[in-house]
Amino acid sequence: MLNKTKAQSDLLFLGTLMAVATLTIFVHGTLFNFLRPFLFNFFYCPTGLTPAHEFDQKYYLAHIAPTVVQGAPHIFSLDTFYYFGWSGALSARERKKVAHQLYHTIIKLKEQYKATAGEEPCIRLIGHSHGGNIALNIAQIADKHKECSLTIEQLILLATPVQKETAPLVKHERFKQIYSFYSSADFVQRLDPQGLSNFGRLLTNKGLADALDNIDRVGPLFSERLFKPHPRLIQIKTRVLDKSLSHGDFLRLNFFTHLPKVLEWLETHPQKEAWTRKKYIDLELSVLKWHTTQTACPSYPYAQTMLSA
């Protein structure tokens, strides 16, 4: 039987995101240098914070915001949707550096909004791939500022590599709700050899002998898919019929078309609390296919339908 108090709490949380202005910031993932000359328009994102309405529509990522807004204009707004661009380097040190920049950007953005609108906005972060790890790092950075009361109402992780250093941060109280979407066929999610990076840092800081003595601190060689269960975390194993998604599928525009619908469903589902105790839940989507359309995103892949009714 549905716990009325819990159901009311879920609806209140969703209602808060709808009633109070929510600033949404999308953070892209790793950008491999060898691909940039061939897929520049696909990967390009201006460095730093860019309002969605100022992002040139000739670039693929610029279409994510209007696609999400069209899917749920009562939850998302183009006026409060932003992109945060960074170098995309495959480096934990770079991601920490960028997380500091993102943290200060969020604080400044909140202050500017409050000064203009007269109310405190909520914050929603969407991180694709290692963009999710940048978002997770914000919790540690905020803790270093004792006066900081920053909370992230919603953190949406899309194919984010689960790493020893950032995985514990999903338990941080600054994140009120986390949804982590992943696929069992996404080999790119696990590709980052975090073990080598961790061992390299040990070697630099401790020397070879101590590094070998502390080899247990290195963690898994490659990144993982799943976080440990937590009451504020739901992990969603995403498939299309019997096909698992690739890393790039989580950037498809039709995925973003229906992401708000999925989030609403997750927020208000009577099993939401039980799902936090599971390793993951299965989400099976309907047809997902590539084709181009002249109306939505010229020359870019786009699909019209994804979710079952």
Q: What confidence tens digit (pLDDT) does each residue in 153-173 have? A: 999 999 999 988 899 999 999
* Pairing outcome for strands 243-244 and 178-182: unpaired
Fold topology of 4-186+225-285: Rossmann fold (3.40.50)
What is the pLDDT, as a whole number, of residue 242? Answer: 75
Domain ranges of the chain: 4-186+225-285
**What percent of the chain stands above pLDDT 70?**
72
**What percent of the chain stands above pLDDT 90?**
53
pTM of the complete model: 0.81
State yes or no: pLDDT of 30 exceeds 80: yes
CA distance 30 to 67: 22
